[in-house]
Chains A and B, each alone.
Chain A
Amino acid sequence: MKQMQRRQFLGTGVTAAAVAAVASTGLLRAGNAFAENVAGWPVKAFDAKVLDEAMSDSVGKTNVPVSSKVSLKAPTIAENGGAVPVTIEVDSPMTADDYISTVWLFVDHNPTPLASQFTFTPASGKAYIQERIKMAKTDNVRVVAKTNKGELMASAPREVKVTIGGCGG
């Protein structure tokens, strides 16, 4: 299956070269003697500091049409920006011919806007994720989904009012 080959491939012979390349460009996270990015982890997209750049480096586009098929649930008000629950669900048959292959979650003005990337397979049955994220301040969260045929669709941006910012830690 294509999805897993990406990581398995990168996990083999390419690791040393990839780490060397990353280290030489200064992108390797400093300050931790043992810090080393996991092979296959998309460094460029995750290091992007503004939303447009993060979207270009992950999705490949900055304007994606909004579709009612992409559902993003988040609280209207989050007292603690350190743990904001989000639920993502994309309407798709999730068959071998027609499935959601990738979903990206963004927080518009976080220090690095790309929060998570999910690579699904038809075996998922539903393109569904629930997790908790940090939000620095009152901001929009948004999701972009890509089908196996390359079609892109986005959720409407969803504002979460944050009482106490969550980028501590």
Chain B
Amino acid sequence: MAEALGNPMIRMPGSAKKGEIVEIRSLIMNPMTTGLQKDKKTGKLIPAHFIQTVTITFNDKPLLDVDWSTAVSANPYLAFKMRAEESGTLKMIWKDNTNGSWSADSKITVS
């Protein structure tokens, strides 16, 4: 079965006041298979295929590192926060266990 992969999305406010804490929400397509489940038709194990790391930076400075297991639901959603101190670009990089890598970014103006 073909699986949708990638298509990362970030939702973040476009502007904020300095010092304000903003919420960032993100989504990416990935099957997040555990490797423990059998294919109902063939009886063979479906290989584990899942996002393992999400690296989040703001203006190239570290903000949040996420390490995921196969217990994270398919097409993983992630929301987190950031203290808006300066205008700039938030970047997220997702990597899976099959050498898949996706990135997305979003800009914010801080006044």
Residues of chain A whose beta carbon lies under 8 Å from any beta carbon of chain B: 1, 3-4, 6-7, 29-32, 34-38, 40-42, 46, 82-84, 94, 107, 110-112, 114-121, 123-126, 128-135, 166-169
Contacts and interface: CB of A to CB of B under 8 A. Distances in A.
B83 interface: yes
Contact of A82 (B35, B36, B66, B73): B73
Given A31-B35, A32-B49, A124-B82, A38 B97 contact: yes
Given A3-B62, A115-B72, A125 B82 contact: yes
Given A41-B52, A124-B80, A112 B71 contact: yes
B71 A134 contact: yes
A96 B111 CA distance: 22
B76 A132 contact: yes
Nearest to A107: B71
Given A112-B69, A112-B71, A132-B76, A37 B97 contact: yes
A131 B76 contact: yes
B45 interface: yes
Interface residues of B, number: 48
30 contacts: A4-B57, A30-B47, A32-B49, A32-B97, A38-B96, A38-B97, A40-B53, A40-B67, A46-B69, A82-B74, A84-B73, A107-B71, A115-B72, A116-B66, A116-B68, A117-B66, A118-B65, A123-B63, A124-B83, A126-B21, A128-B80, A128-B81, A129-B80, A130-B77, A130-B80, A131-B76, A131-B77, A131-B78, A132-B72, A167-B37
Contact of B81 (A7, A119, A125): A125
B37 A168 contact: yes
Given A32-B47, A123-B61, A124-B81, A83 B73 contact: yes
Contact of B95 (A6, A38, A114, A126): A38
Closest CB pairs A-B (n = 8): A125-B83, A4-B62, A32-B47, A119-B65, A130-B79, A115-B71, A132-B73, A31-B47
B53 A116 contact: no
Given A29-B47, A116-B72, A117-B67, A167 B34 contact: yes
Interface in B82-111: 82-83, 85, 95-99
